[in-house]
Structure 1
Amino acid sequence: MATHRKPKQHPLAGSTARTAATLALAGAATATALEGTGHAAPALTPAQAKAQVAGYYQQAEVATEKYNGAKERTDRARSALERLQDEAARKTERLNSARNALGSFATAQYRDGGMPAGVRLLLSSSPDRYLESASLADRAGTRQATAVARVRHELRDVQRVRTTAGARLSELRREEAALAAHKHTIEAKLEKARQLLQELPAVERTAVEAGEGVATAGAAAGADVKEAAHAALAPVAPHAGADRAASGRAAQAVAFAYSAIGKPYVWGATGPSAFDCSGLTQAAWQAAGVSLPRTTYTQINAGRRIARNRLAPGDLVFFYSGISHVGLYVGGGRMIHAPHPGAPVRIASIDEMPFAGASRPA
C-alpha cells in the first residue's frame, strides 16, 4: 500500500512569500509616489504667474460686463414693476369706486323691486308724480347699465395690469439670478488671481497689484511683461502727444477722464469715487452731456465706428474679441482706463491689449 504524504514545505516558504508580496506592494506604492512627484506641475515663474493673473482679471472683466448688463436690465425691470404696481393700485381704487356705485343701484332696486310697477301706480296717491318717478327710474336704469359696464372695464384693466406686473416680476427674478451668477463668477476669478499673487515675490506682487506688470496673457507669453508695461506707462502730461487737440464735448470727456486718474477700480462702479472700465467711459461722456449705455458691448455700437488710424481724443477704444474692455483715447497712442482691481485709473498704451475696435460718441 502506497503511503500518501503532503509535500514537505520549507519552514520559511510561507513567510517569505508574504514578505515578498508586502515588498512588492510597497515598491509599487513607492513607484507610484515617485511617478506622481515626477509629474507634479512645476512652479510658475513670475512672468507665467503674472500672465495667469492677467488672464483671470480679463475673465473677471468679461463677467463684470455681463453683470453690468444684467444689473441694467434688473433696474429697468424693477422700475417697470414699481410703475405697474402704482398703476394697479390706482385702477383698483377706481374699480372699488365703480363697485360702490353699482352697489348703491342694487340696494335701491332691492328696496323697490318687490312690487310690480302697475300695482305701485294703482296704489299711488298721485299717479302723475308716480309716472314722473318712473321716468326717472328708467334713466336710473340706464345709469345702472353704465355703472355695470364701468365695473367690467375697470376689472379688465386691473387684471391686465396685474398680469403684466406678474410677467415683469418673473423677468426681475430671472435677472436677479443672472446677477448673482455673474457676481459669483467675478469673485471666483478674482480669488484665483489673489491666490496666484500671493505666490509671487513681494516686489513682483506689488508691481502687479499696482497695474505695472499685467498685460494680456498673449502679450505676456515670451515677453518681459514688466518691461513692456513700464514702457507703456511712461509719464504723460495731459493732452501731450495728442493726434489733434480735443474740442467740444470730446474735450470735456477727456478732461473728466484725466480728473479720474488715481481713483480705484471697483467692478460695477460708475463713479464718482471709483469706476470699472465701462463705468469710467460712461461717466466721462455723461460729464460732456452724452448718455452712453452701460456695457462695453453696447457702448461700441453707441457711436460711429472709427478706424484705428483715424482715432482722435475722446474716442472709445475697445479690446479683446469679446469686447470686454474699454478705454478713453487721449491721443499719442494712449488711453485712460480703469484696468482691474488693485490698479487705479491710469494712462496706458492702446497696444497693451488686443485692439478690437473704436467708436466716436455723437
Structure 2
Amino acid sequence: MASHRRGKPVGPSVLSRAAITVAAATAAMLSAPGGADALPGPSGGSGAGAGSSGGPGSPEDVRRQVDALYAQAEAAGQRADSAQEQEAALLRRAALLQQQLAEEQQRANAVAARLGALASAEYQRGGGMDPVVQLMFSAHPEEYLSRAASLDQADASTAAELGRLRSYERELEQGRAEALDQYAELEQLRRSIATGKAEAQRRLGRARALLGSLTAGQRDQLQQQEDAAAQLAAQAAGTPLPIGEGPASARAMLALAAARSAVGLPYVYGATGPGAFDCSGLMYWAWRHGGVALPRTSQEQAFAGRRVPLSQARPGDLVIYYGDMHHVGMYAGNGMIIHAPYPGARVRYESVRDMPAVAVVRV
C-alpha cells in the first residue's frame, strides 16, 4: 500500500460553520484540530477568518460559541435517536408479549370452560361436587388443601385440568406484571426523546440569536470562508486515489458510492434518507446499499466493526468523532470524509482532520 501523503488541513476548520444567515441558522461541532495519527490532505489555508480579531463579540468569538452550541445540539439529537431506537425495540417486544398473553388467556379460558362443564354435570347428577372442582371454586384453595385428606379422591384428569389452569393463571399474572414494567420503561423513553429534542431546539435557538448579533457583512465573510473550504474539499475528494488505497471491500465500495451520491442533500435531525440525513443516518443509509444494516446512532456505529488506526483508513470506513462519539463521517480517501454536518447544511466533503477523531471502524 502506498503511504499517505503528509500535508496541511484543507481550508478553514469544519467548525467554522457559523457561516449562515439568521434565517437559516444551523448546527455544527466543537472546534478542535485533528488528533494524532491524522490522515493527510492537500495543502490549504488556516481556519481563522481574515481580519477577525477573535475577541469577545467578534465574528470568530460568535463562531466559537455557535459551534459549541451546535455540538451540544447534535449530541442531544443523537441521544434522542438512540432513545427512539430503544422505543421501537420495546414496542416490538410489547406486541409479542401481548400476543403471548392473549394465547395464554385463550388456553386458560378453554380449561376453565371444561372444568365449568364438569362442575355442572356433577351438580346435575346430584352426586355432590368432585373435590378437585371444589378446589377450583374455593376462594382459599390452600385452606381447602390443608383440610383435604388426599387428592386421590379426585379424578386424575380433572386434577390435571386444574393444574393446567393454575399454571396458565400464574403465567398470565407474570406476563401482566412484565407488561406494566414495559409500559413504565416506554414512558421513560418517550420522556427522554422529548427532552433530547427540546434540548436540541434550545441550543439551536441560542445559536440563532448569536448569529443575529452579527452584521450582514460579518455573516457574508463567514459564508465566504465556508464556501471556499467546501470547494477545496470537493476538489481534493475528486482526486484519483493512489493505487492500493481504495475501499477495503466490495461492500465498502458500494457504501462509498451511495454516500457520494448524497452530497448536496440536506441535514435533518433523525433522517435516514433518501432525501435528507443526519450524520449517523447517512452512514446507515449508505451501508444499506452495501448490504449491511448498521446500528442507527453514531455511538452504536463506533462498535459495528473492526477498529483500525486513522493512518490506515480506507474509503468506506466510518470515522467517529469526539469523546462522546456524537458525530460520524465516512472516509472518502485523500484525507477527506463525507458527512452530514448539521441542520441547515448539506451533505459534503470535509478534511478528516477538521474534528477530533476517536475511532475508525472498518465494517
The TM-score with structure 1 as length reference comes to 0.73
Q: How far has the Cα of 1:237 moved from its partner? A: 5.4
Report the Cα distance in structure 1 between the residues aligned to 2:82 and 2:122, rounded to whole angstroms: 59
Report the Cα distance in structure 2 between the residues aligned to 1:263 and 1:207, rounded to whole angstroms: 24
Q: Does 1:154 align with 2:168?
A: yes
Matching residue of 2:144: none
Matching residue of 2:192: 178
Aligned equivalent of 1:200, options 209, 214, 217: 214
Aligned equivalent of 1:100, options 105, 113, 129: 113
Matching residue of 2:16: none
Report the Cα distance in structure 1 between the residues aligned to 2:224 and 2:65, rounded to whole angstroms: 14
Instruction: State the secondary structure of the residue aligned to 1:274.
Output: coil
Report the Cα distance in structure 2 between the residues aligned to 1:347 and 1:64, rounded to whole angstroms: 22
Instruction: State the secondary structure of the residue aligned to 2:61.
Output: helix
Matching residue of 2:103: 90
Q: How does 1:1-362 map to 2 (within 5 A)?
A: 44-114=57-127, 141-202=155-216, 204-205=218-219, 213=226, 229=229, 233-236=233-236, 238=238, 240-241=240-241, 244-246=245-247, 247-361=249-363
Q: How far has the Cα of 1:320 moved from its partner? A: 1.4
- Deviation string for 1:274-328 (max 9, x for gaps)? 1110111111112111121112122111111110110100001111122111100
RMSD of aligned Cα (Å): 2.6
After superposition, the Cα gap between the structure-2 partners of 1:237 and 1:333, relative to the gap in structure 1 and judged at 3 Å, is: closer
Instruction: State the secondary structure of the residue aligned to 1:342.
Output: coil
Report the Cα distance in structure 2 between the residues aligned to 1:320 and 1:307, rounded to whole angstroms: 16
Q: How far has the Cα of 1:53 moved from its partner? A: 1.3
Report the Cα distance in structure 2 between the residues aligned to 1:143 and 1:185, rounded to whole angstroms: 63
Q: Which protein has the bigger helix share? A: 1
After superposition, the Cα gap between the structure-2 partners of 1:298 and 1:80, relative to the gap in structure 1 and judged at 3 Å, is: same
Matching residue of 2:4: none
More relative contact order, 1 or 2 (CA 8 Å, 6+ apart): 2
Report the Cα distance in structure 2 between the residues aligned to 1:50 and 1:144, rounded to whole angstroms: 80
Report the Cα distance in structure 2 between the residues aligned to 1:245 and 1:182, rounded to whole angstroms: 38
Q: How far has the Cα of 1:190 moved from its partner? A: 0.9
Instruction: State the secondary structure of the residue aligned to 1:351.
Output: coil
Unaligned runs of 5+ in 1: 1-41, 117-137, 214-225
Matched residue pairs, number?
A: 285
How many percent of aligned residue pairs carry the same amino acid? 38
Instruction: State the secondary structure of the residue aligned to 2:208.
Output: helix
Report the Cα distance in structure 2 between the residues aligned to 1:104 and 1:239, rounded to whole angstroms: 83
Report the Cα distance in structure 2 between the residues aligned to 1:77 and 1:207, rounded to whole angstroms: 48
Is the contact between residue 233 and residue 351 of structure 2 (CA under 8 Å) also seen in structure 1?
yes
After superposition, the Cα gap between the structure-2 partners of 1:165 and 1:177, relative to the gap in structure 1 and judged at 3 Å, is: same
Matching residue of 2:17: none
Is the contact between residue 257 and residue 336 of structure 1 (CA under 8 Å) also seen in structure 2?
yes
Report the Cα distance in structure 1 between the residues aligned to 2:217 and 2:332, rounded to whole angstroms: 30
Moved more, 198-207 or 154-163: 198-207
* Structure number with larger C-alpha Rg: 1
Unaligned runs of 5+ in 2: 1-54, 130-151
Report the Cα distance in structure 2 between the residues aligned to 1:59 and 1:232, rounded to whole angstroms: 27
Is the contact between residue 232 and residue 349 of structure 1 (CA under 8 Å) also seen in structure 2?
no
After superposition, the Cα gap between the structure-2 partners of 1:204 and 1:280, relative to the gap in structure 1 and judged at 3 Å, is: farther
